[in-house]
Chains A and B, each alone.
Chain A
Amino acid sequence: MTGTHAPGIVAGRLDRTTLRENFGDLHEPLDSHEAAVAADRCYFCHDAPCITACPTAIDIPLFIRQIATDQPEAAAETILEQNILGGMCARVCPTETLCEEACVRETAEGKPVEIGRLQRYATDTVMAHNIHPFSRAPETGKRVAVVGAGPAGLACAHRLAMKGHGVTIYEAKPKPGGLNEYGIASYKTVEDFAAREVDWLLSIGGITIEYNRALGAGLTLEALKAEYDAVFLGVGLGGVNALGVEGADRDGVSEAVVFIADLRQAPDLTSLPVGRHVVVIGGGMTAVDAAVQAKLLGAESVTIAYRRSQDRMPASRYEQDLATSKGVRILAGVMPKAIHGNGAVREIELEYTADEGGKLVGTGETLRLPADQVLCAIGQTLTTDGGLALEGGKIAVTGPGRSSVPGVWAGGDCTAGEDLTVVAVAEGRDAAEDIHTALMG
């Protein structure tokens, strides 16, 4: 161990045992008694508002009733037929702004039915028994190319395979899962869940993944179109917005998504370096995840610097509370002005902001925080567009993911809509249904 309080960006601030505890499951899974008690609270609403609030429209009252009546396997099937990554979504969905926000028991007593945890209970049961409740329809002879093995691509591929089509996924990285594998906070998806879930998903058959094959790097949309009956792009957002302040190129200033990806892929967290004083710029989920994980790695102080007022942070209140409960400080109403240091960053200079008629302006007042690591989480950008028409910086689509080019569909983060795993799954699935209709005429 280098020492907990060592300056700079160093590894080994905490011992192995503490790290294992820190990066354990954020929420313990429900046991069967807890699940029964939680399930009992569901009112089995008519045309339930929670279903409407779920981007994949899972029949929540039905699956909860199936849990309540001791059929977690049937519950899982109810979930998975709408959302093949129901296991991951149960862990990572911001339920507090989705299904659980809409739950009538949230209205009634400010305490929703624990839909997310119940969903995990059901999906964990089938995965633990390695049950894959779906099988493929007879081979159609049609072949579809899917670009990107993230949630959107995987959901699309699974649905197509189920319908009997042959699917080839081209994935730029050496591993599948997209941000499930490289992005999601590790305490939300412990024990290599992302990889296990992909294996389980692929067990339906009919899907081949070609790794280290990136669209744009020797692989063209034209070629895919020529070879396959349809193409789906689920390439996510590969780039990031630039910080654009003085000193942004200093050592110690890096992208939050890179920091997180390194963390997710680190075989041993004791060898993963982290700053003593960390400042995260941004206010979304990525900012929160980077800040919390920096803290859990042993950073002495971690500050999230967000430019608007705290109530406007894209990260939910729940995520904010999680961050503060782990000891992260949220500083709202400040924007980065300069990054100081001699080679490596030593301090960050922030300027207070004011809202002038909806426009954010600096007030001229500044403050400086000690920082030996600055993580930028100020938004990701599209890097692969395959030459398709764009809209608002993303691939333009109409209906269930139809791009400007016939025969090419797209979904997930690379298209408009909320950047969430569950939204990516819904879009991938819906595009698959549309491709199927198009192919089968």
Chain B
Amino acid sequence: MADLTSNFLGIHSPNPFWLASAPPTDKEYNVRRAFDAGWGGVVWKTLGEDGPPVVNVNGPRYGAIWGADRRLLGLNNIELITDRPLQTNLDEMTRVKRDYPDHALIASLMVPVNEDSWKDILSRVIETGCDGVELNFGCPHGMSERGMGSAVGQVPDYVQMVTEWCKKHSDLPVIVKLTPNISDIRKPAQAAKDGGADAVSLINTINSITSVDLDQFAPQPTIDGLGAHGGYCGPAGKPIALNMVAEIARTPELAGLPISGIGGVTTWRDAAEFMALGAGNVQVCTAAMTYGFKIVQEMISGLSQYMDEKGFASVDELVGRAVPNVVNWQDLNLNYVTKARIDQDACIKCGRCYAACEDTSHQAISMSDDRVFDVIDAECVACNLCVNVCPVEGCITMERLPAGEVDPRTGKTVSDAYANWTTHPNNPMKCAAE
């Protein structure tokens, strides 16, 4: 069993699997059970200012989209930050941290954009003995209308300013949680870094309407005939989150800024992917809300087995390993020529590859009367659509044409030299050959 212990910003936890700030971490009862179940850390449900507690809707607060067999793929919520009194949360955090000293406990915070508010809350949070704070600049509904959450996260200057206040008024590690509801994630990340943040975490939820009630003509979840946009999360959002994590990880100016990866982590593999793209740990919300706390056991055994197979002594050996291989399109090798190959023994003759290629791609799959499907190399552009639609995993693969062979589609001999767009003859802006 590999060593899964994690050291993120000097915060130690038995493994890199943390629960993200959300309902799973909204109270002592949950968090104790989460730690007992095996979670390495939690970011407590976001705390707000002292005073009258936040009010949530009393109707449905979640919407969802499903895949086959009602597998939950995406969740949308209009929940606000914690609606329990500040002192209750602080007392509970104190007790939990005392009883679970080896687990990570982070306080998530969201208060109005003025220095005193942040100073006040920090002074009270420090008392709990928590390991760090996470600044919730991501919540895209409700709180953002009040000038908090993503309303801050979308303005890099504010991100920097609030981060500076937090560094000024506490010694705790500061993690800035970013909103994906912005066109270039590097900007707020840079602002967080410039403000002195110890790390960024991302992503918070994506602005969304999951569905429309076609009888009431209103977005779902529908509250008394009306609906508001919510925040989208879960497996369906993972590709967006992965890209944003990678964007930060591979930007030279942001190099070295630790990242806590969030967004659709559902299995050990998802976690490993985030980590390979530069996340030092991961945070999970929807998967726990869908299946309960026990899923962490699968994540632990899966990551452990993978690390053993790879011979990684610690999770740090995985972190960032894929970052150098994330490049811009123009850096891809145009001399890398592949063709789809169908394993006839594995093929179940459903014809989906044929329909997809014939109707929507390059007419590069032939179909015989007895339903044998073959790739026509002279037409195949290796787009991968057939691989993606084939219901049998591994049945269609992309095989590289060896150098020296002629690509029957282009009539050109395949070269093993690397050549990308920047030097391609069709590129009007190509760099002069060196």
Bind each other: yes
Chain A residues within CB distance 8 Å of chain B: 36-37, 40-41, 43-49, 104-105, 107-108
A40 to B70, CA, bound (A): 9
Instruction: Tell which of B69, B355, B391, B392 touches A46, judged by Cβ atoms closer than 8 Å.
Output: B355
Chain B residues within 8 Å of A37, by CB: 69-70
Interface string of B400-421 (1 = CB under 8 A from A): 0000000000000000000000
Chain B residues within 8 Å of A49, by CB: 349, 371
Chain A residues within 8 Å of B70, by CB: 36-37
**Docked complex: B326-385 residues within 8 A CB-CB of A:** 348-352, 354-355, 367, 371
**Knowing that A47-B351, A107-B348, A108-B348 are A-B contacts, what are 8 other residue pairs whose CB atoms are under 8 Å apart, sorted by A's residue number?**
A40-B68, A40-B69, A44-B352, A45-B350, A46-B354, A105-B348, A107-B349, A108-B392
* Shortest beta-carbon distance from B411 to chain A in Å: 30
A104 to B391, CA, bound (A): 10
Chain B residues within CB distance 8 Å of chain A: 68-70, 348-352, 354-355, 367, 371, 391-392
Chain A residues within 8 Å of B367, by CB: 46-47
A107 to B349, CA, bound (A): 9
For the complex of A and B, 4 pairs with smallest distance between CB atoms: A46-B351, A46-B355, A104-B348, A45-B350
Chain A residues within 8 Å of B371, by CB: 47, 49
Please list 5 pairs of residues, one from A and one from B, whose beta carbons are closer than 8 Å in the complex, sorted by A's number.
Answer: A37-B70, A47-B367, A47-B371, A105-B348, A108-B348
Instruction: Tell which of B68, B351, B392 touches A48, judged by Cβ atoms closer than 8 Å.
Output: B351
Candidate in B349, B355, B392 with the most chain A CB atoms within 10 angstroms = B349
A41 to B68, CA, bound (A): 8
Chain A residues within 8 Å of B354, by CB: 46
A44 to B352, CA, bound (A): 8
Question: A102 — nearest CB in chain B belongs to which residue?
Answer: B349
Chain A residues within 8 Å of B351, by CB: 45-48
Chain B residues within 8 Å of A43, by CB: 350, 352, 391
A107 to B351, CA, bound (A): 13
Question: B349 — nearest CB in chain A belongs to which residue?
Answer: A104
* Shortest beta-carbon distance from B73 to chain A in Å: 13
Chain B residues within 8 Å of A108, by CB: 348, 391-392
Chain B residues within 8 Å of A47, by CB: 351, 367, 371
* Shortest beta-carbon distance from B138 to chain A in Å: 34
Question: A109 — nearest CB in chain B belongs to which residue?
Answer: B348
A10 to B209, CA, bound (A): 69
A108 to B391, CA, bound (A): 9
Question: B391 — nearest CB in chain A belongs to which residue?
Answer: A43
Question: B353 — nearest CB in chain A belongs to which residue?
Answer: A46
Chain A residues within 8 Å of B69, by CB: 37, 40
Number of A-B contacts (CB under 8 A): 36
Candidate in B70, B351, B392 with the most chain A CB atoms within 10 angstroms = B351
Question: B354 — nearest CB in chain A belongs to which residue?
Answer: A46
Question: A44 — nearest CB in chain B belongs to which residue?
Answer: B352
| Inter-subunit contact B352/A45 (CB<8 Å) | yes
A46 to B355, CA, bound (A): 6
A45 to B392, CA, bound (A): 13
* Shortest beta-carbon distance from A369 to chain B in Å: 45
* Shortest beta-carbon distance from A121 to chain B in Å: 16
Chain A residues within 8 Å of B391, by CB: 43, 104, 108
A44 to B353, CA, bound (A): 12
* Shortest beta-carbon distance from B326 to chain A in Å: 33
Question: B392 — nearest CB in chain A belongs to which residue?
Answer: A108
A105 to B350, CA, bound (A): 9
| Inter-subunit contact B68/A104 (CB<8 Å) | no
* Shortest beta-carbon distance from B172 to chain A in Å: 48
Chain B residues within 8 Å of A36, by CB: 70
| Inter-subunit contact B352/A46 (CB<8 Å) | yes
A41 to B391, CA, bound (A): 11
Question: A46 — nearest CB in chain B belongs to which residue?
Answer: B351
* Shortest beta-carbon distance from A35 to chain B in Å: 12
Question: A47 — nearest CB in chain B belongs to which residue?
Answer: B351
* Shortest beta-carbon distance from A368 to chain B in Å: 50
* Shortest beta-carbon distance from B360 to chain A in Å: 12
Chain B residues within 8 Å of A45, by CB: 350-352
Chain B residues within 8 Å of A40, by CB: 68-69
A40 to B352, CA, bound (A): 16
* Shortest beta-carbon distance from B374 to chain A in Å: 14
A150 to B367, CA, bound (A): 39
Chain B residues within 8 Å of A105, by CB: 348
Candidate in A37, A45, A107 with the most chain B CB atoms within 10 angstroms = A45
Chain A residues within 8 Å of B348, by CB: 104-105, 107-108
* Shortest beta-carbon distance from A64 to chain B in Å: 13
A37 to B68, CA, bound (A): 7
Question: B346 — nearest CB in chain A belongs to which residue?
Answer: A108
* Shortest beta-carbon distance from B221 to chain A in Å: 19
A159 to B68, CA, bound (A): 37
Question: A45 — nearest CB in chain B belongs to which residue?
Answer: B350
* Shortest beta-carbon distance from B353 to chain A in Å: 8
Candidate in B68, B348, B391, B392 with the most chain A CB atoms within 10 angstroms = B348
Question: B359 — nearest CB in chain A belongs to which residue?
Answer: A46
A43 to B389, CA, bound (A): 10
Chain A residues within 8 Å of B352, by CB: 43-46
Chain B residues within 8 Å of A107, by CB: 348-349
* Shortest beta-carbon distance from B412 to chain A in Å: 32
* Shortest beta-carbon distance from A228 to chain B in Å: 41
Question: B365 — nearest CB in chain A belongs to which residue?
Answer: A46
* Shortest beta-carbon distance from A420 to chain B in Å: 24
Question: A105 — nearest CB in chain B belongs to which residue?
Answer: B348
Question: A107 — nearest CB in chain B belongs to which residue?
Answer: B348
Question: A52 — nearest CB in chain B belongs to which residue?
Answer: B371
A45 to B391, CA, bound (A): 10
Question: A68 — nearest CB in chain B belongs to which residue?
Answer: B68
A107 to B354, CA, bound (A): 18
A105 to B392, CA, bound (A): 10
Chain A residues within 8 Å of B355, by CB: 46
A47 to B355, CA, bound (A): 9
Question: A106 — nearest CB in chain B belongs to which residue?
Answer: B348
A44 to B390, CA, bound (A): 11
A45 to B354, CA, bound (A): 10
* Shortest beta-carbon distance from B230 to chain A in Å: 24
Chain A residues within 8 Å of B349, by CB: 49, 104, 107
* Shortest beta-carbon distance from B148 to chain A in Å: 40
* Shortest beta-carbon distance from B180 to chain A in Å: 30
Chain B residues within 8 Å of A48, by CB: 350-351
A107 to B371, CA, bound (A): 13
A40 to B68, CA, bound (A): 6
* Shortest beta-carbon distance from A124 to chain B in Å: 22
A63 to B58, CA, bound (A): 40
A48 to B349, CA, bound (A): 9
* Shortest beta-carbon distance from A91 to chain B in Å: 26
* Shortest beta-carbon distance from A261 to chain B in Å: 42
* Shortest beta-carbon distance from B385 to chain A in Å: 14
Chain B residues within 8 Å of A44, by CB: 352
Known: A108-B391, A108-B392. A46 touches B350 (CB 8 A): yes
A5 to B391, CA, bound (A): 55
* Shortest beta-carbon distance from B300 to chain A in Å: 30
A36 to B350, CA, bound (A): 21
* Shortest beta-carbon distance from A62 to chain B in Å: 13
A279 to B352, CA, bound (A): 49
* Shortest beta-carbon distance from A32 to chain B in Å: 12
Candidate in A43, A49, A105 with the most chain B CB atoms within 10 angstroms = A43
Chain A residues within 8 Å of B392, by CB: 108
* Shortest beta-carbon distance from A356 to chain B in Å: 35
A37 to B367, CA, bound (A): 30
A108 to B346, CA, bound (A): 8
A45 to B356, CA, bound (A): 11
Candidate in B350, B371, B392 with the most chain A CB atoms within 10 angstroms = B350
* Shortest beta-carbon distance from B358 to chain A in Å: 8
A46 to B359, CA, bound (A): 11
